[in-house]
Structure 1
Amino acid sequence: MRAHLARVDAVLVQALIAAALSFAHIHDIAMAAGQDGWKAWAYPISVDLLLVAAWRRLRTGTAKAAAWCWFVIALTASLGANVATAGLLDMTDVPAWLRILVAGWPAVAFLGGTLLAHSAPKTATDEKGTELIDGQGHEPEAPSDPPAQPATESTSLASPIPVPVALVDHARKVAAEHHTRTGAPIDTPTLRTRLGVPAPLAEAIAAQL
């Protein structure tokens, strides 16, 4: 247990030293590039926040490429400040390109932080939901139909044929005349012949007589 705590303490101390030195170096670069006062202190905070956001996305998210891109950008800014303040750069005569980079860093950091914080990664729930939606497109096959019913039964289930009222009235007159003349009700074939209509229509008329 003590050995574990010793390793944790050592790592924590190293992290604090690295963060403090990097923080100071970025502040010095910002000061040398013309960003004085509170603005010089805001630059190292911005770099560290972008590093933390990128590292968190690497650990918890799925958009690894974007997270690695912004992590490398923030790490380059931090390491670049450390190297530049190691005597390789004249802090009293900062080149124009470095001033441009320092001036443009806030916009770059804001863009990176926004993309990392507000681009929702695809979660396992989304994937399951997509699979569920995809599965709905494959409906199970319907069971085989029962044996076909006789044609007469299907014909009887069909919707009735509409018959004009005038045609029914005329058919009644024909049926009455046939009954008076023969003494028997008129049958469907005779009614069809007298009216000159198709068989289905004659059956529909006879059903209404």
Structure 2
Amino acid sequence: MARPALRIDAVLVQAVIAGALSFAHLHDLAAAAGQTGWKAWAYPVSVDLLLVAAWRRLRADGPSRLAWCWFLIALVASLGANVATAGLLDLGDVPNWLRILVAAWPALAFMGGTLLAHSPAGPSPAPPTPSASDSEHEALSEPAAVAEPQWLPEHVAAPHAEETPAVPVPAALVEHARKVADDHHARTGAQIDTDTLRTRLGVPPQLADAIAAQLTRPEGNDR
């Protein structure tokens, strides 16, 4: 099986060359500003990482002031080093203000990387507020709630209207009760109540109720 030929991407080669040149310019400027040894090599890494972090934040979360600010800061640092090492600046006699900027860059880059990594993204859009028509549509589409019957426990009887069972009352007992009621009215001036009638006659409560019902009827209609 033939192995695929190695394909060289011109864009990738160009990016590698440009990155190497920019890296070298940043290193030379840092070394000229007094950062010797490994520190001079760390400056170009710091600048390029901040540039990439800001660009990724722009690509992931969209345009934001924070990402654009640190992207421009890193871009100016990279372009400034490239321009400064093009012969416009004497690297043997670097001015003090440039030494101060180079010495302050680590703290600035650390703050920028921390803000880009831990700052929250832009506010998420608020959920749409349902309009009146949507609410009406939902109300029409949902079935009306039906009240469920509340069942009583089996051992509790449902309430019902109290009914007085029909009790046969002898006519003689009704006549005797009428005399008792008349006597009670003559002595007290008030109609006799059921409890008093039951006590005077000595009958059960149901029979007393039936007798009282008979007394409320006109005479001759006891049955």
Tell me whether the two structures share a fold, i.e. TM-score over 0.5: yes
Structure 1 portions without partners, runs of 5+: 144-179, 186-209
Partner of 1:95: 95
> Structure 1 residues 59, 93: CA separation in 2 closer, same or farther (over 3 Å shift)?
same
Q: Which runs of 5+ in 2 are unaligned?
A: 1-6, 141-187, 194-223
Number of aligned positions between the proteins: 137
Aligned residues: percent identity? 68
Given that 1:27 and 1:43 are in contact with CA atoms closer than 8 Å, whether structure 2 keeps it comes out as: yes
Instruction: Specify which structure has the higher proportion of helix.
Output: 1
Are 1:131 and 2:139 an aligned pair? Answer: no
Give the match for residue 191 of structure 2: 183
Equivalent residue for 2:78?
78
Name the structure 2 match of 1:173: none
**How big is the alpha-carbon RMSD for the aligned residues of Structure 1 and Structure 2?**
2.7
Q: In structure 2, what is the Cα distance between the partners aligned to 1:96 and 1:184? A: 123
1:94–1:10 Cα change, 3 Å = same
Aligned equivalents of 1:28, 1:183: Cα separation in 2: 126
Partner of 1:161: none
Report Cα offsets for 1:118-155 as digits up to 9, x if no partner: 122247xx43xx316x559xx95789xxxxxxxxxxxx
Aligned partner of 2:15 in structure 1 is 15
Q: Distance in 2 between matches of 1:41 and 1:28?
A: 9
Within the alignment, does 1:109 sit opposite 2:117 as a pair? no
Supply the distance in 2 between the matched residues of 1:184 and 1:60 (Cα, whole angstroms). 97
Q: Provide, for residues 12-63 of structure 1, a one-character-per-residue CA deviation record: whole Å limited to 9, x for no partner.
A: 1111011101111111111111111111111100000001001101111134
1:106 CA displacement: 0.9
* TM-score under structure 1 length normalisation: 0.58
Rounded to whole Å, the distance in 2 between the matches of 1:184 and 1:97 is 120
